[in-house]
Every structure is written in C-alpha cells, then in structure tokens.
Amino acid sequence: MTPQDADLALLSGQMWHAPLSDPASPEQELQRALNQGASYGAVKTGLHRLHRLALPGAQVSAQAQARWPNSIDMALLAFDLALTAHKDAALSRLHARVVQQNRRRAALAGAYLRALRPEMAQQVLAQIKMSSPTARDDIHRRAEFALSQGDFTRALADIDWLEQTGAVPAAAVLRLQLIYRRDGAAALPQWLEESENAAAALWAQAFHIFMSEGDFQQAPHALARWQANPSPDATALSRAQTRLALETGDIQAAQALLDDRLAAQPPWQWQAADHVQWLRAGQLAQHDPAKLLEHARAACRVHARHDWLHHLCRVLREAVEDWRDLAHDRPARSSNTETALIAARAALRMGLSGQAARALAPARRATALAQDLHRLHCVRAEAFWTAGRGEAATAVQHAATQWATDSVQRAESAMLGAELALLAGDPAKAEQMLAPMAKSFAQRMALPLTQARIVFMQGDFAVAMAEHAKFNALKLAQTGTPAPPDVRDRIVEDAYTAARGMEGAFAPDLAVADSIAKVGLARITAAPGLSACLLRRAHVRGDLQFLPDAAAHIPRRIVHYWQGPPGPALMRAREQWARLHPGFEQQLFDEATATTWLRKAFARDMAARFEALGHAALRADLFRLCWILRQGGIFTDLDEYPRIPVTPWLRDARAVLCIERGFGTIANNFIAAEPEHPVCAMALDFVCTALDQTDAPYAWWHSGPAQWTRAAFAHQFGTGGTDVRFLSQAQYCRRVATNLPYPHKRSPDHWR
C-alpha cells in the first residue's frame, strides 16, 4: 500500500465509524502539505480523496491549480471541488487548458456534462483534432456521447475509425452498445455469436446488458464466455457472478462470493459496488435491517457520491424508522437527476405522489440531456397515474416518448403507455403501444404479463394463458424452479376453463348483456375469471348502473386488521385515516380481538374457521367479510394511505367497491357497505364454500378478491342491484394511495 493509499484508508476508516467532527480538517491538512512543498502526485491524490469523500476542497484545489497552472488534472479537480458560485469560472479555466494543449477533450466534455451543459460537451467533442495525443480516447468518448444521444450515424463513424486505427476491443464494445440501443436486445445474441475471438470486455458488457434486460437465458451464457477468456479481471468477474446469484435468489452463492472477495479487507476499503451487493445479500437473507442500515450509513459516508448506496440507505430507513418521521424528512430539492429520482421514488413508496412530482421539478428544469429528461418524465408520469390522474400521466408519457433517445428508452415509454391505456380501459390502444417493442425486447418479463392482461380484457383467454406460459418460462430461467400458480395464473386459467366451448361469447365487441345471454349467468358467476372480465368491461362502458339513494347510510366507522409485529409504517396510516375522517369511529383488530368478536357476532363455527386458517392474510380476509356484513362501515388495509377523505364515496351509496386495474377483480383492501348488504352476504357464502373445497387455501383466490368479484357480478347482473358505487382504480387512487410497499412484504412469509 502506497503512503497515499494508507492516508485514504485512515481517513475512510475514521469516517466509517463516525462523521468527522470537523469536515474541513482534511482540506486544512492538505493545504499545510501543499505549502510545505508536497509533490504533484501527493497533492493530486489528496484532492481526489477529498472529492471522493465529498469533503470541502475548494480552497486547496484552487491553490494547487495556481501552483501547477498547466495541469489539466488540477484544473479538473478544481472544477469538481469548486463551490457552486465558482463552477463556471473553474470550467472556463479548464476549457482554456484543454484547448491550449490540444488534448483531453473527453475530460472537458465530461466536466460540461456534470455542469448540465450537454451542448458544450457536444461542441468540444466535435472539434477533436487528429493531431492530438489523446485523439483516440477523445473519439471513444465522442462515440459514447453520440450513443447516449441517439446519434447512431456519428457513433458508427467513430466506431469504424477506432476499429481501423487498431482499437478493436474498445470498438467492439461500442458496436455492441450501438446494436442494443439502435436495434434492441433481440439483435444481440446472433451478433455476439458471429463475433470472432471476442475479448473479455465484450462479453462483460454483454452480460451486464442481458442482466439489465432480465434475460436469464443469455446472461449466464455471456458470463461463461467472459470467464473462458484468458486472464479475465478476477474482481470484476466475481462481482458479475455475485450479481447473477443475487438476481436468481441464490443467497448462499452470493454470500460465499462476497466473503471470498471481501473478508480480507475492512469495509471502509471496499468499493461502493461491493457495499451495494453486500447490502442486497443481507436484505435477501432477511438480516436485521437496523444493522444493515448502520452499514449503509457508514458506506454512504465513505462513498458519498454513490447514488445507489443512497437509494439503499433510504430503503433500509423505511424498514427501520417510523414513517411519520420519514414523511417529514424531505431532502433538499436537487437539480441532479439521480438525486431527484431517488427522492421521487421514495415519496412514491410512501404514497406521496405530489411530493414525488415536486422532487423531480428542479432536475427537469436544469437538465438538457434528453436521456435524463426521458427518465424524469417517466417517473413523473408514474406519480400522476398513482394519484389517479390518468390524462395528465398520458400527456407526460407522450413527452417522455419524445425525449427517448434509443430503442431501450422507447421500449420503456411503450410499456408505460400500455399501462396507462389499460388503466383507462383501452386494451386495443395498449396493444398498439406494445407492438413496436414486442420483437426487439421479447425477453423482458414484464412484456408477456402486460400482453396477457390486454388479451384477457379482450376475452381471448387462450392467448392470455400462452402469454403467462412465456412469463413462467422466463421466470424458470431466472430461478431454476417452477413457480406455483399465482394470482395471474389462477384468474386466467379459470376464465379459459370456464369459457371452453363458448369462447366467442366473450369477444370484445359484444355487449355484456349479450355475453350473459349466450353463456348464462350461473356459468359466469361460478367463475371469478369470467366475472372479472365482464365486470371490468361493463364498468369501462358505463354499464354498471348506480342509482343514488338519499336514504342510504354507510356507518361512519373505520376498521383495520393487523396480525404480527406492527412495523414502522402502520401508525402513520392509522393516524391519517383518523385525521381525515373526524367523527368516524376507528378500531384496530388483531388475531385475539377478532376471534373474540367473531364468537359474539357469529355462530361458534365461524370463530373456529377463523382460528383454523394458517395464514394472516386468510384470517384478515375472512374477518373483514364477517365484520363488514354485521357492522357495516369501512374496512381498509393499513397499507392503504388516504391523501384526501373518502367520505364523498359513501354518500347515497349502500356499498362502495373498487375494480382493480389488473384483471378487473374487486379489490378487498377497501370495502365500504351498510350492515347486512347482500353483496357482502353473498361474498361470505362464496368464501366459506371455497375454503371448504380446498386443503391449501390461497388468500387472494379462496378468501379474497376472486370471491368478491363473483358476488359483485351476481349482485349487479343477477339481482339487478343498483346500490353499489363501483370505483375504477384511477378514481380510487385520486383519494387513496394503494398497496404501499411496506417492509414486511419482502418477507418470505408474505402471502404472495
């Protein structure tokens, strides 16, 4: 270890254990060394250390630049360490050095990009002179920049030049990126196989592209080819192997690789990527989140500029700290794209869509990079649609599409557009949105899932089954283990089986009444899948008749059920429901109090049935049905976070139900009804029958939304009920943030 490395290790070790009592002291020490004649190399290393640790360094970097006025490295460090008010002047000095010396335009372009001035970066790179000693590196950077901007003609010309001048491995990596960005992931496997004597760097890049695509058929192949190359970088290869192990859920392999790579070093000497993988492995292994958070905070101190570490630190805070405090802990708004995205996604996880949109605003105003504007607009669209503002989300999605620079970003825009079309109940538009990317990115797991929902809404259950089979094959490649049927598989297979021989009765151009006439009400209500398809279709078309009744009165009471440790998020939601609904009675049941209530309100066998259920989700489902039937009022899960009161929904209605955006089932995370409402009575009958017919109940299917959907359809179309106010997912989300990602949902005990 060199003396400079030892100094970095010492300072990093101090910051690992605690923040510095005086953050300015390292700069002052470097100033003293500079004044005492420290060498160029020692000062340069010291400045790099200050920048990496995000410590003050503006004064000493300016002094170093004055001492070595011709050094481009010193000018770069002076720019990076300068105070905001002095950034432009520092950048001008750097520009002058680079132009004067006719070299290192790549470094200057990078500085302009960090200053959010891409037009100047492009101008600098356009003026590369072949006589420059750094022409090859500069042209390599120009090709990278052109790829990021979607200028494939410029990029291809530079790649060809690099290849012709002997930089074959570097040119091959750039060509791989060109094909991916221009033509899509589907074009890569054949091109790779046709590449003769591909170097390790090419297979390394291919591996990371396939991993970003979630292609677990091609990624292991690329990793094997990388490993087979002579003398691959052992550390980079180990990180790649760890990444694959983490993504495939092989926790033991990931931890063994991490131990082998990191055990000999103290954690403050690890690279940021190592901390990220160590923390992710700890999350997957269900390690104590408080200890993981302690590690993450220390890692953020020694890698203060690493965005992904800050993201993980925030996620771990959500697993440990009271969400009431987190909601008020708003970071200063930043014009940095990554910082803004981290803040916005954190706000979305907490159900604060407005806060998410506001967090993005400074970065949207500051950046002129098209690829960053695309990313910011995509998250902004998500903020709008999670707030139930579908039209605004669609407008922002259109803007995101305009900013997309390559096929990868256009595919992301297409997926977002398809989701918004499905949210609006327009499967034909969703299908149209996905068509351009379906072949270019066929291995993306989200694609067959979205296509399955599209054709399910159109009544083509056989194709929906086929799309789920594609997804299950992709998932098998990831995990190596066939997954048991989940919510999606069950609803689609049920519809496919129930519609057999009568498939034409569910064509999308038929009226719901015609479908009922062709198939019969009993056959439809017996099948949750058919009920969901037609219920959603009727709602989109405005065929679910609701007649307001001034005499209706849903009791003003709110009830929740929670079983197990409370977790850091619950109290915030419970208090918000109470705060927004003054005058409402509120009660929280657990396993014991629910059992006591059931024994009083129902025959003894209902309490026994409740106690016999083995999973908390099953018990919650049964209890909510019994309670809403007997007592009436609102039952809501505690991962539902109201932003504004739901009281207007209750007026003139005898029941309020929400139709989910996924497959059109009734969401039972929020139910409102009068006591003894027939739809609740029917749902309870269906649930009890379904539970009696299985030895392995599945919460969503046997006790939850599937049976509620049957009851809602039968009430509306069988008994002619007109007293239920049906909400779309968008209408619901205008008032309530739904299904928030509480920490307990990452547990293997969660019902999904």
- 3-17 helix and 40-52 helix, angle to the nearest 10 degrees: 20
DSSP three-state, residue 413:
helix
Sequence-distant (≥ 6) Cβ neighbours of residue 603 within 8 angstroms? none
C-alpha span between 654 and 680 (Å, rounded): 11
Per the CB < 8 A criterion, the answer to whether 67 and 33 are in contact is no
Let me know if 644 is exposed, middle or buried by CB neighbors in 10 A (0-12, 13-18, 19+): exposed
Q: What is the per-residue pLDDT for 436?
A: 87
DSSP three-state, residue 667:
strand
Per the CB < 8 A criterion, the answer to whether 693 and 687 are in contact is no
Structure tokens at 683: 């749902």
DSSP three-state, residue 671:
strand
pLDDT per position as a tens digit, 425-482: 999 999 999 998 999 999 999 999 999 999 999 999 999 999 999 999 999 999 999 9
C-alpha span between 117 and 123 (Å, rounded): 10
C-alpha span between 489 and 494 (Å, rounded): 8
C-alpha span between 715 and 707 (Å, rounded): 12
C-alpha span between 25 and 73 (Å, rounded): 23
Per the CB < 8 A criterion, the answer to whether 276 and 263 are in contact is no
With tokens 């060109």, the residue in question is 178
Q: What is the largest CA-CA distance in the chain?
A: 94
Per the CB < 8 A criterion, the answer to whether 91 and 111 are in contact is yes
Q: What is the per-residue pLDDT for 392?
A: 97
pLDDT per position as a tens digit, 133-157: 999 999 999 999 999 999 999 999 9
3-242 against 522-533+538-746: fold identical: no
- HSE (CB half, 13 Å, CA atoms) of 11? 25
- Which stretches of the chain drop beneath a pLDDT of 50? none
- 604-612 helix and 616-630 helix, angle to the nearest 10 degrees: 160
Among residues 417, 375, 411, 383, the alpha carbon closest in space to that of 397 is found at: 417
Structure tokens at 498: 């129930």
Sequence-distant (≥ 6) Cβ neighbours of residue 14 within 8 angstroms? 20
Let me know if 741 is exposed, middle or buried by CB neighbors in 10 A (0-12, 13-18, 19+): middle
Per the CB < 8 A criterion, the answer to whether 278 and 295 are in contact is yes
Q: What is the per-residue pLDDT for 5?
A: 65
DSSP three-state, residue 337:
helix
Q: May I ask the CATH class of domain 522-533+538-746?
A: alpha beta
DSSP three-state, residue 68:
coil
Among residues 124, 185, 113, 134, the alpha carbon closest in space to that of 336 is found at: 113
Q: What is the per-residue pLDDT for 107?
A: 98
Alpha-carbon separation of residue 453 from 448, 463, 533 (angstroms): 9, 10, 10
For 3-242, CATH gives 1.25.40
Q: What is the per-residue pLDDT for 418?
A: 97
Structure tokens at 719: 């008994």
Sequence-distant (≥ 6) Cβ neighbours of residue 438 within 8 angstroms? 447, 451
With tokens 């270890």, the residue in question is 1
Angle at 666 between CA 610 and CA 558, to 5 degrees: 60
Q: What is the per-residue pLDDT for 118?
A: 95
- DSSP class of residue 437 equals G
Domain spans in the chain, listed from the N-terminal domain onward: 3-242, 522-533+538-746
Per the CB < 8 A criterion, the answer to whether 669 and 693 are in contact is no
C-alpha span between 7 and 45 (Å, rounded): 10
Structure tokens at 20: 């510095």
C-alpha span between 211 and 206 (Å, rounded): 9
Structure tokens at 76: 């770069």
With tokens 């950034």, the residue in question is 87
Among residues 656, 721, 659, 711, the alpha carbon closest in space to that of 688 is found at: 711
